[in-house]
Amino acid sequence: MSQTTARDKILGRLRAADCKPLPLPDATDFYAQRRHEDLATRVERLALNLSNAMAEVHRTTSSELPAALSRVIRDKSLSTVAVGRDVLARQALCDQLQNVCALMPVTTAHAETAALFDRVDAGLTLSYAAIAETGSVVLWCDSQSPRLLSLVPPVHIVLVDVRRTFDTLFALMHQENWGSGLPTNVVMVSSPSKTADIQQTLAYGAHGPKQLIVMLVEDH
């Protein structure tokens, strides 16, 4: 029997079968039964999950952030840090950072690509939200914060307002009605870049940022 004939018979049986579509899962009901934690507990779980995934976590406040971030940049010997328009809008923060490093504005998607690969030590971004369940930082990438900032430099530093820490990704999507509109890119970051070979050996920093530094800004 030829392969074509065998295939036709199999497809014929499938087409003739009386198959009814399965009902769509009720995600709302599923997540309604999950445990819902208060903000403090969510933040602790977020910090723990990030640390377990090899991210470097620093906890600070809005008033202490410029000094804390400056210490991190100085201790890591980061000479040039790329920033988007959203970070540049924080004038007081940028003024202090310029005492310890050079800030390179990234204002378009591609104009500074070569510099990001060749001359930049770190990319500094602001988070959109954070997910406690997976220890993930959500980046809302657009012209204010190009995606390349978090993908290309060897170090990625992200500032997280812990008041926007959600239990799950579903909670974030549901509460903010993501179905009504999304940007071109939403990036979920949970660790430095990593990969695994066929022997299941996990390696960090194989491509993309070798270090992920998360500044948790806590102002309750």
Q: What confidence tens digit (pLDDT) does each residue in 96-135 have?
A: 999 999 999 998 656 677 888 889 999 999 999 999 999 9
CA distance 123 to 120: 8
- Residue 110, exposed/middle/buried by CB under 10 A (0-12, 13-18, 19+)? exposed
Supply the CATH classification number for the domain 41-194+204-217. Answer: 3.40.50.10420
CA distance 217 to 220: 10
pLDDT confidence band for 138 (50 / 70 / 90) = very high
The pair of three-digit structure tokens given for residue 61, joined into one six-digit string:
């406040």
Helix (H, G, I), strand (E, B) or coil at 23: coil
CA distance 102 to 195: 31
* Extents of the domains making up the chain: 41-194+204-217
- Residue 183, exposed/middle/buried by CB under 10 A (0-12, 13-18, 19+)? middle
Q: Which residues contact 207 (CB under 8 A, 6 or more apart)?
A: 193, 195
CB count in 10 Å sphere of residue 38? 7
Mean pLDDT across 197-217: 86
Cα angle at 192 between 187 and 198, to 5 degrees? 100
CB count in 10 Å sphere of residue 202? 11
pTM: 0.85
Mean pLDDT across 133-162: 94
Amino acid at 50: L
CA distance 122 to 163: 25
pLDDT at 1: 47
* Residue 165 · residue 43 · CB < 8 Å: yes
